[in-house]
Structure 1
């Protein structure tokens, strides 16, 4: 049936047997499934032109069969587990262990209807809509199946975020990690600190390509989400059973904030009043000062954001924080001595530990990139392991939860082939097959340690992605392969049936076409997807496995 992600168990009753939906097919909703019913009418109903009128089982006898939604806590596989049964005579039954499970079952039902079920209106009015007779039982391998979208480097308006939430739901991904702040822009309204968006959300121009490129886009670039926008995004995501995790990067990657409020920077080392929102890329020496004022400032920022993002986890970044300014700063040196710390790494750890306690007191959990291990990891913190497997292994062995997202495997800004036609080629080639063979749980972990790998995530950084068309090209089809890795309980990476996945992708490309996704074709970029003259930074050979 060419499903992606592949279900845990599939039984097809007969190659020729199917259930045909009709104008009088009724939608029977059990308690807790009302929002899934709304989603089905708004998406599958719009694509098929079928009303899916509400009904109940006693009155459904004269209908064209039934699509029935039900919650049954005995469905195996945890709260996101589901079953789909298609009977040629009576219809479709979608049962989940929770409303989330019902929703993921509804996503599978949509795939069973064919690619045209992913359109916004009927492409062929009056056609027959058939579902193959089958029984599916399915549940996810990981509870955190994430996609990180960097909206700081290039701002993506909220309609793009809504579109990607829909695409995530279609692939059963359930965590959107929004990278909201960086040196190149601050993208969320903070009412007590209005200059964060008045100043920090805008840069004068933008480097085209990576730092080595001589090219510039001289147009100012910027944008941000109001708090009303964020509430709308979070509420929309919740209807799709997706949690939005915000990231505010500290103490590095903070020049946009320092440009807005110069007192946040190391003013005893550099003239912070001269700093502007960064227009180029790369690791930046201008980092936050280790002062009480900075702690209070970000407590204020986080207080407003906790009211907007109700999820458990809050991402504080913590990556790529150069320590040169702290080494030169009398303020930082004094703070190290005052706290009895060994060095600047422990000073960064002190900042991270402060916010770990602060968030824990408010019922939240801190998560950060694997540099938060430097100087000692805060007791309750979780780690996003991006530099390879090593940070995640160390964290899991120490009893900390881990989200595996190694750049060597699931950084979707890395180039997709060795071809010179790849646009702005970055790092090593990571093909669709490479992503499909990614294994999130390292073999070095014992079973108890492996349970700390709570999930996995694909990350996309947008330094060279200045439009949603470029974003689509880099994300897809690789995000579909990642979704199967995150959801399905696959064999070891070298034993996976790549040929079967490639075959199923034939049907999935048609779904992406119906959704309007401008993915990278299997044969390479189309002429308009290339970027001649913008060189990038390719690397030779396979990536190091760290």
Structure 2
């Protein structure tokens, strides 16, 4: 049936027929299923031109608590279409499958022809492998307007991904309005210019870049995502990756080491030495920031970064060294751990959980914290064995800013070569954990990360994310062989043939299997390719 991601079970008897959808076909819903029915009616109604009015017969959506929470059962026969979900989320994922079965034109926003619409007689039973199936969008390095974020919510939903991780703050930009501290948006949300490509190319665009989301924008994004059963996880990066915040509020920096009043929002890429100080006033400042963030984002998890925090300024700072001595800490690694543990306790007291990049393991991890394992599997393995929940997102496999081939015309080639097949063969649970069921159970999911240093608009994000995000979605959802070499990539590639047509209908400017289109190349812009 060319479904992506592949379902657990699909049966279609030989010689089975089809069920036709017509102007008389009704779309009915049992109690609790009405929101999914409304979504399906709106999407399919626009694409097909069919009214799909409420009523008995035809298409029927119901909840079945006997199914897994995100599971569904889809039955199409001569009597009609019955879609059952273990919860509204499961029902919604089943509706996404139903839409795929109608063909690529079902993804159009308006009916373009008087086509006959029908579904094959079949039975599908399905449920996801992982509860966290995530996509990170870095809107800090290059800002994506709200409309583009909403579009990516829809694209994530179409691939049965259920977490949108928004990287909202970094050295190069602060993207969330904080009422108590308006300078964060007024000053920190824009930079004077941007580096073009990697630093070795020594190119700048000399064009101001910026933008931020108002609190109402973020409420809208969260509500839009929730209606599609996607949780938005905010990231406020501390104590490193903070120059945009320091530019707006110089008192947050290590003022006894650096003239922080002279700092502006960072215009280059890479690891930045300007990190937060560890004073009580800085803790209070970020508590106030997080109070507003928690009001905007109801997600259980709040991501606080914790990655790539150089310690040189703390080593040179008399105030930081005094803090280490006062707290009886061994070194600057333990100082960072103390800083993050403070916010772990603060979040826990409000019913939330801290998640951070795997550097938060250094110096000791707060008991309730979860880990995003990005530098490889090692951090995730250590965290899981210690009883911490883990989201696997190793850069060597699922960083979608990395180049898609070794061709010389890949735009701004970065990182490792990671082809569509490479992503399809990624396995989130490494052999070291598969031998330990208790530790493996702490791998709550996996995530693909789209970092945007080298993507300055939505077209560029499309190119890097797709089609590899489709392969990742199948890894996150489907029960594939655990050994990567045992996976049937040829079958996936064949199913992708129709999926490309779906992406075309959705307006996704993906990387074509034959290579980049001429307008997708960036001649002369230097990247940073790695070996392997």
Give the TM-score range, shorter chain: over 0.9
d(CA) in 1 for partners of 2:387 and 2:512? 42
- The TM-score, its normalising length taken from structure 2, stands at 0.99
Instruction: Tell me the C-alpha RMSD between the 2 structures.
Output: 0.7
d(CA) in 1 for partners of 2:317 and 2:202? 33
d(CA) in 2 for partners of 1:173 and 1:15? 34
The question of whether the paired residues in 1 share the 8 Å contact of 2:27 and 2:41 is answered with no
Deviates more, 1:167-176 or 1:210-219: 210-219
Partner of 1:500: 491
The SS at the match of 2:201 is coil
Per-residue deviation, 1:213? 2.0
What is the CA deviation profile of residues 117-156 of structure 1, one whole-angstrom value per residue up to 9, with x for unaligned ones? 01111121x2110111100000000000000000000000
The SS at the match of 2:207 is coil
Partner of 1:90: 79
Any stretches of 5+ residues in structure 2 without a counterpart?
Answer: none
Partner of 1:460: 450
The question of whether the paired residues in 1 share the 8 Å contact of 2:304 and 2:355 is answered with yes
The question of whether the paired residues in 2 share the 8 Å contact of 1:183 and 1:278 is answered with yes
Partner of 1:202: 190
What is the CA deviation profile of residues 496-532 of structure 1, one whole-angstrom value per residue up to 9, with x for unaligned ones? 0000000000010000000000000001001111000
Residue in structure 2 matching 1:99, options 88, 113, 121: 88
Partner of 1:5: 5
* 2:101 is the counterpart of 1:112: yes
The question of whether the paired residues in 2 share the 8 Å contact of 1:14 and 1:133 is answered with no
The SS at the match of 2:337 is helix
Per-residue deviation, 1:349? 0.1
d(CA) in 1 for partners of 2:416 and 2:88? 41
Per-residue deviation, 1:38? 1.1
d(CA) in 2 for partners of 1:401 and 1:14? 45
Partner of 1:400: 388
The question of whether the paired residues in 2 share the 8 Å contact of 1:85 and 1:94 is answered with yes
The question of whether the paired residues in 1 share the 8 Å contact of 2:467 and 2:511 is answered with yes
Partner of 1:161: 149
What is the CA deviation profile of residues 3-47 of structure 1, one whole-angstrom value per residue up to 9, with x for unaligned ones? 000000000123551111000000110111111111111111110
The SS at the match of 1:485 is helix
* 2:57 is the counterpart of 1:69: no
d(CA) in 1 for partners of 2:339 and 2:490? 48
The question of whether the paired residues in 2 share the 8 Å contact of 1:427 and 1:538 is answered with yes
The SS at the match of 2:217 is helix
Partner of 1:30: 30
What is the CA deviation profile of residues 241-300 of structure 1, one whole-angstrom value per residue up to 9, with x for unaligned ones? 000000000000000000000000000001000000000100000000011011000000
Residue in structure 1 matching 2:368, options 380, 388, 407: 380
The SS at the match of 1:167 is helix
Any stretches of 5+ residues in structure 1 without a counterpart?
Answer: 61-65
Partner of 1:480: 470
The question of whether the paired residues in 2 share the 8 Å contact of 1:423 and 1:532 is answered with yes
d(CA) in 2 for partners of 1:16 and 1:364? 50
d(CA) in 2 for partners of 1:16 and 1:392? 46
Partner of 1:173: 161
Query: Pairwise mapping of residues 501-540 of structure 1 onto structure 2 (< 5 A)?
Result: 501-540=492-531
The SS at the match of 2:164 is strand
- The TM-score, its normalising length taken from structure 1, stands at 0.96
Partner of 1:63: none
d(CA) in 1 for partners of 2:412 and 2:9? 41
What is the CA deviation profile of residues 35-90 of structure 1, one whole-angstrom value per residue up to 9, with x for unaligned ones? 1111111111110111100013xxx4xxxxx1000001012xx2000000001x21
The question of whether the paired residues in 2 share the 8 Å contact of 1:207 and 1:213 is answered with no
Residue in structure 2 matching 1:489, options 479, 495, 498: 479
The SS at the match of 1:218 is coil
The SS at the match of 1:231 is helix
d(CA) in 1 for partners of 2:450 and 2:15? 40
d(CA) in 1 for partners of 2:8 and 2:465? 25
The SS at the match of 2:409 is coil
Query: Pairwise mapping of residues 339-418 of structure 1 onto structure 2 (< 5 A)?
Result: 339-418=327-406
d(CA) in 1 for partners of 2:477 and 2:16? 29
Runs of 4+ in 1 over 6 A off after TM superposition: none
The question of whether the paired residues in 2 share the 8 Å contact of 1:85 and 1:92 is answered with yes
Query: Pairwise mapping of residues 296-311 of structure 1 onto structure 2 (< 5 A)?
Result: 296-311=284-299
The question of whether the paired residues in 2 share the 8 Å contact of 1:185 and 1:222 is answered with yes
d(CA) in 2 for partners of 1:494 and 1:510? 27
d(CA) in 2 for partners of 1:16 and 1:103? 26
